[in-house]
Amino acid sequence: MVKSMTGYGRAEDTVAGCTITVELRSVNNRYLDCNVRMPRLYLFAEEAIKSRVQNTISRGKVDVFVTLDNTGAEQVKVSVNRPVADGYFAALKELAGTYELPQDISVSLLSRFPDVLLAEKTEEDLEGRAAAICAVLDRALADFDQMRTREGARLEADVLSRAQTIETLVGQVEERSPQTVSEYRAKLEARMQEVLSNTQIDPARILTEAAIFADKVAVDEETVRLRSHIEQLRGMLSKGGAVGRKLDFLIQEFNREANTIGSKCSDLEIARHVVDIKAEIEKIREQVQNIE
């Protein structure tokens, strides 16, 4: 199944007290262009994020937004500064002995002295944080891919419907084309009879002129190639994958054949069919621009 180049995906998770949110948005682009926006502290994870995106997406302009909420997640380690605490304790004992005071030294008393207790933030596990970001990214990519698949199915159905319309119109061109030769022959014969009313008309001359005309307006090769292109288009869509660029080239061939038919035929009915064919081709081209 084909996929659309446009999509949106989002995932969120809380890991070790940190809420990680990943959002992806994409629009049409000829090649893959991935931009990652995230806090500067975690830029080391950018390459891993881009690598995962490249494994999932082949074309499109993709914006990845990563936000991290560390509120309440910071852990603080509190430790006793033993040399300072020992110094205060010894000084208090000396003070009590010198002045014959009761030794009522308590924990609360010691803890109030400067630098007795040290509070330090624990070092963040950056590798673990990067792994957590990538895990949330994988979920966002899955959500993103589901949306692209749904949109791709809609695009495929529309393209196939228009291809069927083109095939019907091609059939009408093929049906009408021989009639234009017969009508030309009849008109030619009528004109010659009008001009040469008293002269014997040469049937061979009429046949020759009609053959020349038939050769000039013959569109058999073009209609056969158009039918072949339609089958090729169906095959590409059935195979799925990243076929958008190939379809874009194929639609150019559609246009080439339609233009040749239009230039060869002076018949009004065929000209109308060609206009309808080109209109459907243009609509397919617009849809193909959205296919990955």
Mean pLDDT of 147-159: 95
**Can you name the CATH fold of 7-72+125-149?**
Ribosomal Protein S5; domain 2 (3.30.230)
Q: Which pLDDT does position 264 carry in this prediction? A: 77
In contact, 122 and 16? CB cutoff 8 Å: no
Residue 30 CB partners (closer than 8 Å, separation 6+): 59, 245
Q: Which pLDDT does position 235 carry in this prediction? A: 95
Domain locations along the chain = 7-72+125-149, 76-121, 152-288
Q: Which pLDDT does position 112 carry in this prediction? A: 86
81 burial type by CB count under 10 A (0-12 exposed, 13-18 middle, 19+ buried): middle
Higher-pLDDT residue of 282 and 109 is: 282
Q: Which pLDDT does position 11 carry in this prediction? A: 96
> Which pLDDT tens digit goes with each residue over 256-270?
999 988 877 777 888
- At 233, the pLDDT band (50, 70, 90 cuts) reads very high
Using DSSP's 3-state secondary structure scheme, residue 178 falls into: helix
- At 44, the pLDDT band (50, 70, 90 cuts) reads confident
Q: Which pLDDT does position 71 carry in this prediction? A: 58
- At 42, the pLDDT band (50, 70, 90 cuts) reads confident
Short-list 15, 76, 60, CA closest to 42: 15
- At 134, the pLDDT band (50, 70, 90 cuts) reads very high
> Which pLDDT tens digit goes with each residue over 72-125?
445 667 788 888 888 888 888 888 888 777 878 888 888 888 888 877 665 667
Does 170 score more than 70 pLDDT?
Answer: yes
In contact, 198 and 275? CB cutoff 8 Å: no
Looking at residue 41, the DSSP 8-state letter turns out to be G
Percent share of the chain, pLDDT over 90: 50
- At 247, the pLDDT band (50, 70, 90 cuts) reads very high
Mean pLDDT of the chain: 84
Side chain identity, residue 169: L
> Which pLDDT tens digit goes with each residue over 185-211?
556 555 555 555 555 555 665 556 555
Higher-pLDDT residue of 270 and 182 is: 270
| Alpha helices for the chain (secondary structure H) | 46-56, 82-98, 107-111, 126-195, 203-217, 220-239, 244-264, 268-288
Q: Which pLDDT does position 93 carry in this prediction? A: 85
Q: What does 15-40 look like in DSSP terms, one character per residue?
A: ETTEEEEEEEEEE--SSEEEEEE--G
Q: What does 128-170 look like in DSSP terms, one character per residue?
A: HHHHHHHHHHHHHHHHHHHHHHHHHHHHHHHHHHHHHHHHHHH
Task: Choose the weakest-confidence range: 36-40, 77-81, 182-186, 231-235.
Answer: 182-186
| CA 162/CA 251 separation, integer angstroms | 12
Partners of 64 in the β-ladder: 24, 36
Using DSSP's 3-state secondary structure scheme, residue 211 falls into: helix
Looking at residue 42, the DSSP 8-state letter turns out to be G
